[in-house]
Amino acid sequence: MTVHQTINRPVFPAETLASMATLYPAQAGLLHHNLPDHPLLSIEALARLGETLSASAVEYNPGNLPVGIRPEDVPSNGLSIGETIRTIDTNGSWAVLKNIETMPDYRALLMDLLGELESVVVPRTGAMLTPQGFIFISSPGSITPFHFDPEHNILLQLRGTKVMNVWPAGDERFARRIEHERYHTGGHRNLPWDEAFRGGEQQVPLGPGDAVLMPVMAPHFVVNGDAPSISLSITWRSEWSYREAEAHAANAALRRMGLDPAMPPRWPRHARAKSLGWRIARKLRLVGERL
């Protein structure tokens, strides 16, 4: 069923674009949005979406997890994705619906939102590649464990509150180069946690109407407030982000050869030789495609 809703004013006001221009792409920070209640983002609509998406595009589990947990240790909540979302108020769970852009109505919403950001993004990191959307539905008090993600990302808080705890991207005190290499050669996004990391984070509290800009591969975990939460994450890649991923993947190959390659440089610089070498190896089918 097609759902169309006209949004009568910009979702990202001028002051948000100005704030984003000072932060993007290297620094996390608080932004604001005017996204109104939308029929695609109601609990029932999201439950139906979860039941429509492929199994690989939904993830859900109990919300009372440790900040640091290995992906293989995450238990099931014993519910279906539809049940998880419809009873999120009381079931103590966390869920994410991935790649919502595969559904036409959600892709239209995603592209409208990303279109408002082009004036900030394109002059800095070039074309907005591989647009993707993710929706997070969380019970009160749930935790998203310590992890990082490869996309440029703005998370819009729609319902409830949460605190985003963000560590600097590219800082090996919090995510060593071998963790980047592991991820970019097919590993899970979750990261090893150490209580010594506390104090090095930037805390960004979010309520309805707030948003947070997240840099590529910035380690973070999320603590939900005392009410159910819905958040919409709009993401894109850049030529720079792909080149950094390729450099980490090339480093993994060099490490398997017994070398100890240096951490690739962060934006705006490129590890050009490693990126080019990885692209050649991939074209020759000497390595896999995951980045």
Q: Summarize pLDDT for 117-158 with one digit per residue, the tens.
A: 999 999 999 999 999 999 999 999 999 999 999 999 999 999
Q: What are phi and psi of 214, to 5 degrees?
A: -115, 125
The Cα 56–Cα 260 span in angstroms is 34
> CA 92 from chain center: how many Å?
22
Neighbour count for residue 124 (Cβ, 10 Å): 16
The Cα 46–Cα 52 span in angstroms is 10
The residues, any chain, with a CB within 8 Å of residue 184's CB and separated by 6 or more, are: 150, 245, 246, 248, 249, 252, 290, 291
pLDDT confidence of residue 286 = 61
Handedness of CA 123, 126, 127, 133 (dihedral sign): negative
Q: Summarize pLDDT for 56-81 with one digit per residue, the tens.
A: 999 999 999 999 999 999 999 999 99
Looking at domain 14-237, does it have CATH number 3.30.565.10?
no
Handedness of CA 185, 274, 235, 156 (dihedral sign): positive
The Cα 37–Cα 125 span in angstroms is 31
Alpha carbon distances (Å) from 57 to 123, 147, 200 = 32, 18, 32
Q: What is the pLDDT along the chain (291 residues), one digit of tens a residue?
A: 455 566 778 999 999 999 999 999 999 999 999 998 999 999 999 999 999 999 999 999 999 999 999 999 999 999 999 999 999 999 999 999 999 999 999 999 999 999 999 999 999 999 999 999 999 999 999 999 999 999 999 999 999 999 999 999 999 999 999 999 999 999 999 999 999 999 999 999 999 999 999 999 999 999 999 999 999 999 999 999 999 999 999 999 899 999 999 999 999 888 887 888 777 877 766 655 556
Q: The pTM is what? A: 0.93
Q: Enumerate the domain spans of the chain.
A: 14-237, 241-284
Is the Cβ–Cβ distance between 143 and 223 less than 8 Å?
A: yes
pLDDT confidence of residue 282 = 72
Helical ranges in the chain per DSSP H? 14-23, 43-52, 81-86, 104-115, 118-125, 177-184, 239-256, 272-283
